[in-house]
Amino acid sequence: MIWQNHNQQSITVAVSGSGGSGALTAGFILLAAAQRCGRYGLMMRSAGPQVRGGESVAILRVGPSTVTNIGDRVDLLAALDWRNIERFQDELALDANSLILHDNEAGAVPSGIAASGAEQRPIDFGRRAAEHNGGRANMIAVGVLGGEMGLPLQALLDATDAVLGKKAPAAVDAAKACIATAHRGTAGKTESEPSTAPAAAQRWRLSGNAAAGLGALRAEVGFVAAYPITPASEMLEWLAPRLERAGGTLLQAEDELAAVNMLIGASFGGVPAVTATSGPGLSLMTEGIGLAVASETPILVVNVARGGPSTGLPTKSEQADLNQALYGLHGDAPHLVLAPLDVGDCAYTVEWGSRLAERLQTAAILLSDQALGQTHAVIDPPPRCPPVLGRKWASATSTQAQTDRLTDRRPNLQPDLQPDSTTPTNAFARYAPSADGISPMPSPGTPGFEYTADGLAHNAQGTPSSSASDHREQLSKLMHKLTAHDYGDAWARIDRGNLADEPADTAISLLTWGSSWGAVQEATTRLREQGLQVQSIGLRLLAPLQHDQLSLAIAGTQVLVVEINATGQLFRYLNAERVLPPSARAFARPGPLPLRPAEVIAQLQRLQPDADKNHAGGGDEHAGESLQAADVGGGY
């Protein structure tokens, strides 16, 4: 009864348990074992609010090709016990094709779980673990699930060593004994062979938060200041020892107000700077982000978003901070907004965002979320971002020593050492208008270029000025430098698939951003199997919106905008930018449940009842209708 996913090639398993049961550890071992067998996979975690030892569930999907989302259903659930299981009932997505492995000694299957119609099979997790000195029920679950998933014993044992490596040897031995016993009980299943393909050996297993940290290192970030917050802290904790190895500095700030201003100080000093936070921290940072924009000091703020508003859902995901990222700064404050599309893309987009901020001397807000940040995935190493010229330095050509020093400190950033202005004067024009809107910026320590950066409206010299003409000139510069930059093809990931150059009338564009990309892309694949012309577009650069390229990409198609928030924030933004055709529709629903491909397909079929029959003109029924409330939040 397993391997029930649509293509019969992937499987989603879950391990649940109350505090201390080790459900997450079991998930990590299974993911590591799958990696050893050349499988791809990802593992989401869901936890209650407890500080330590609360109930938790690991939901893990593995398959032979890249796994981008958790799928439609949990095929196999190992319930170590049932305490507080109702908190995860929605996440578990069991149905009549699912199989529940449960411990009879933990009590009957709760009615809410049993109502799914899933097959139930009792397993004596606890009693079988007790047969081994120091044995634990979660390791019996690893053996059973590993067997059901076709993972060979050796891969499970090796993965156990890797995951439990820091535990006492006796504990590791007990775990392995439990796994071996339980795995034997599943004999007869078709096993995967450990993969010997070099590509598989080079795959990475990491979280989106770790990937984001890697992106910062790749961008040659030299300074991080941050205040702890869920679910962003892991990015900072991953970075702390590694940034030190790379020669950078990390400060734990007293609050987010301090963190963002520390970034601005470091970046003013010429050192690329990044912080990570979540919604409440982003709220506190917004004044500082505006200062970075006005003073033209590059910074990158990574928002690992959680559900909101206010303190909201600290441990769970939602894509509801887009409005804040786009519009949260007071005044006209042009800045960059980016979003990574999957776990590996966190590295790509953080690197790109930091480099763009450096080049454009502006603030960048990057919208990751809990569903990316705290998901661990087996992925191919993510590519480096496209080349971006480094910060445009102002430096006198005669001061070679200074040039060398800057180059030494930032060896791979291709610093632009041919500034527009190289003549020091008494009043260096730090904010002088230029063709590309980017004014050469000196690093403190450079003689002859002393200037004062300012959050007050200022003239080209940086001197505070409330004159209308200075304001217009400087604002125009701030806007122009962002819109004049050539962002290349990285602004979006477009899977055009079987879309013809002249799309059929029924051709569909699924347009999304951020963590919803994975499920949307899988929905796209399935819809194509139904004979539809479908493309998926995941926006990586949300501001400045690449209006013309997006218009071109969706031309002639019916557009469904997909996102995990209640109010259709992307949909409204794109409509305000007048980039969508009148027939475009929204599928926006609140979090925190992860988007599932079947939801997208169901929504499309609801909006276009004829679409699956491949009738022409399906979109015309909706053309000209204004957005109905039922469409935004239509999933609920």
Cα 461 to its chain centre, rounded Å, is: 40
Closer to another protein at the Cβ: 301 or 305? 301
Find the shortest distance in angstroms from Cβ 256 to another protein.
Answer: 10
Find the shortest distance in angstroms from Cβ 158 to another protein.
Answer: 12
Kindly report the number of other CB atoms within 10 A of residue 583's CB atom: 17
Contact 494, 542 (CB under 8 A): no
SS (H, E, C) 271-282: CCEEEEECHHHH
Find the shortest distance in angstroms from Cβ 71 to another protein.
Answer: 25
Residue length of the chain: 636
Of 296, 300, 264, the C-alpha closest to 282 is: 300
Closer to another protein at the Cβ: 104 or 463? 463
Closer to another protein at the Cβ: 470 or 599? 470
Find the shortest distance in angstroms from Cβ 398 to another protein.
Answer: 11
Closer to another protein at the Cβ: 34 or 99? 34
Token pair, residue 467, equals: 């004159």
Closer to another protein at the Cβ: 307 or 419? 419
Find the shortest distance in angstroms from Cβ 390 to another protein.
Answer: 14
Pairing type for strands 534-539 and 363-369 reads unpaired
Closer to another protein at the Cβ: 237 or 505? 237
Find the shortest distance in angstroms from Cβ 220 to another protein.
Answer: 6
Q: Is the peptide bond before 544 cis (omega within 30 degrees of 0)?
A: yes
Token pair, residue 548, equals: 């013309």
Contact 509, 560 (CB under 8 A): yes
Find the shortest distance in angstroms from Cβ 197 to another protein.
Answer: 13
Which class for 502: exposed (0-12), middle (13-18), buried (19 or more C-beta within 10 A)?
exposed
Residue 627 phi, psi (nearest 5) = -60, 125
Find the shortest distance in angstroms from Cβ 218 to another protein.
Answer: 7
Find the shortest distance in angstroms from Cβ 299 to another protein.
Answer: 10
Contact 60, 27 (CB under 8 A): yes
3-state class (DSSP) for residue 363: strand
Closer to another protein at the Cβ: 170 or 427? 427
Closer to another protein at the Cβ: 158 or 416? 158
CA distances from 619 to 260, 506, 537, 573, 613 (A): 46, 7, 19, 22, 13
Residue with tokens 């819809």: 527
Token pair, residue 631, equals: 């469409």
Closer to another protein at the Cβ: 183 or 376? 376
Find the shortest distance in angstroms from Cβ 463 to another protein.
Answer: 6
CA separation for the pair 57, 27 (Å, rounded): 9
Closer to another protein at the Cβ: 42 or 243? 243
Of 370, 366, 328, the C-alpha closest to 540 is: 366
Closer to another protein at the Cβ: 409 or 528? 409
Find the shortest distance in angstroms from Cβ 155 to another protein.
Answer: 15
CA separation for the pair 356, 353 (Å, rounded): 5
CA separation for the pair 354, 332 (Å, rounded): 22
Long-range (24+ apart) CB contacts under 8 A made by 441-444 are 441/296, 441/361, 441/391, 441/392, 441/393, 441/394, 442/393, 442/394, 442/395, 443/269, 443/270, 443/393, 443/395, 443/402, 443/406, 444/268, 444/269, 444/270
CA separation for the pair 139, 177 (Å, rounded): 9
Closer to another protein at the Cβ: 35 or 138? 35
Cα 236 to its chain centre, rounded Å, is: 15
Q: Identify the sign of the CA torsion 140, 145, 150, 154.
A: negative
CA separation for the pair 460, 451 (Å, rounded): 11
Find the shortest distance in angstroms from Cβ 611 to another protein.
Answer: 42
Token pair, residue 479, equals: 């806007």
Token pair, residue 528, equals: 């194509």
Closer to another protein at the Cβ: 291 or 532? 291
CA separation for the pair 26, 530 (Å, rounded): 37
Find the shortest distance in angstroms from Cβ 290 to another protein.
Answer: 9
CA-derived radius of gyration, the chain: 26
Find the shortest distance in angstroms from Cβ 29 to another protein.
Answer: 15
Closer to another protein at the Cβ: 448 or 634? 448
